[in-house]
Structure 1
Amino acid sequence: MYCLIVLNPNDNLVDMKMEREKLSLSAREESLTSMQPCQWIPKRCSSSPEEHTMYNVAFIAHGYGGLVFTDLLVQRKWEVMNKVYSVAFIDSMHNIQHQTGSDPQIQEWILKHCHEWVSNSKPLDKAVGSLMKVNCPTVSAGTEKYGLAPSYCMHAVFKYLKSTLKAKTTTAFTRSPIATRSSTSKKRDNK
């Protein structure tokens, strides 16, 4: 079993001058003639090493890794439920009923935030029902061979993680409006 976490907690600022130059068609000429100082601003949701480490966490858990993740969820329920936006299980050994002790909050979270790919003869991403365990949505990994399941379904897994991140980000932005100078001045003018 392997675990990989790639972080760069020291990368917390964006040089706006460089970003503009990347977007500009004539960036080379501008950078040669311009001697403006750097304009550093904090990155959204990553302005400090601590914030960077807590931002947008997802898991891909294969085999026994699913059991280990579910144990983490049970042991650190609120931390995991608040920080992990999505989990992709691949032929997971977890057992929600046994491991969660029938905790309805955990079971509801798993149903909403997890998806499982299992070795099966059906084509990739086709629904696979399981009468054996209460679980999250379960689909075929596109192969019957356990050892090949991760490579067969990896594209579908990353597509799922990308769509759940997009949904999370969209929900976060719709819930927290951004105050602008014009909106705050309108409020002052209306008083």
Structure 2
Amino acid sequence: MRTVLLGMNQRETELKEKVCAVALTDSAHNIWLQETSKGTQDWMQQHCCNWVSSPEPVDTLLDPMLRDCPRVSAGTERHELTSWMSFDSIFRFFNKSLETKEDEEAEETSNTVTTRSSSLKYKHQDL
């Protein structure tokens, strides 16, 4: 987590464009102890999830200890099994995050205004 935060602090805009999700397993991080911008904190809350050891079923939303990234149950109380037990859930999280990012990019592209001259240029090139 520290590496992610260091990267975010140094190249926040670039990382936000390229990284669509961050998954943590039983992380004991605390972004409040790091020097992070409000933008980074907000981004982490929206694009990060921490699967933690808990007796609750996998993916059960747990009370946040801090306002950083959401915490969900990994479906086990054993720290050494949190990654394995949450594996499928983590990849569903990645897929959903990637689909959301692709949908947002497609919407931005569809909102781009095409002028008559630029559309004619492409038609001419097709001939």
**TM-score after normalising by structure 1:** 0.55
- SS of the aligned residue for 1:125 comes to coil
- In structure 2, what is the equivalent of residue 176 of structure 1? 109
Asked if the contact 1:91–1:117 (Cα under 8 Å) also holds between the matched residues in 2, the reply is: yes
- Could you tell me which of 37, 41, 48 is aligned with 1:107? 41
Q: How far is 1:83 from its partner?
A: 1.4
Give me the whole-angstrom Cα distance separating, in 2, the residues matched to 1:106 and 1:141.
25
When Rg is computed on C-alpha atoms for both structures, the one with the higher figure is 1
Higher relative CO (Cα under 8 Å, sequence separation at least 6) belongs to 2
Would you say 1:73 and 2:3 are equivalent positions? no
> RMSD between aligned alpha carbons?
2.1
- In structure 2, what is the equivalent of residue 90 of structure 1? 25
For structure 1, the 5+ residue unaligned runs are 1-65, 186-191
For structure 2, the 5+ residue unaligned runs are 121-127
Q: How many residues align?
A: 116
Asked if the contact 2:45–2:67 (Cα under 8 Å) also holds between the matched residues in 1, the reply is: no
Give me the whole-angstrom Cα distance separating, in 2, the residues matched to 1:153 and 1:163.
15
Q: How far is 1:130 from its partner?
A: 2.8
**TM-score after normalising by structure 2:** 0.80
- In structure 2, what is the equivalent of residue 137 of structure 1? 70
Name the % identity: 30
Q: How far is 1:75 from its partner?
A: 2.9
Give me the whole-angstrom Cα distance separating, in 2, the residues matched to 1:95 and 1:70.
10
Query: What's the CA shift string for 1:14-48, capped at 9, x where partnerless?
Result: xxxxxxxxxxxxxxxxxxxxxxxxxxxxxxxxxxx
Equivalent position amino acid for 1:117 in 2: W
Q: How far is 1:99 from its partner?
A: 1.1
- In structure 1, what is the equivalent of residue 123 of structure 2? none
- SS of the aligned residue for 1:85 comes to coil
Give me the whole-angstrom Cα distance separating, in 1, the residues matched to 2:25 and 2:7.
17
Once the two structures are superposed, the pairs formed by residues 112-123 of structure 1 within 5 Å of their partners are 112-123=46-57
Q: How far is 1:67 from its partner?
A: 2.7
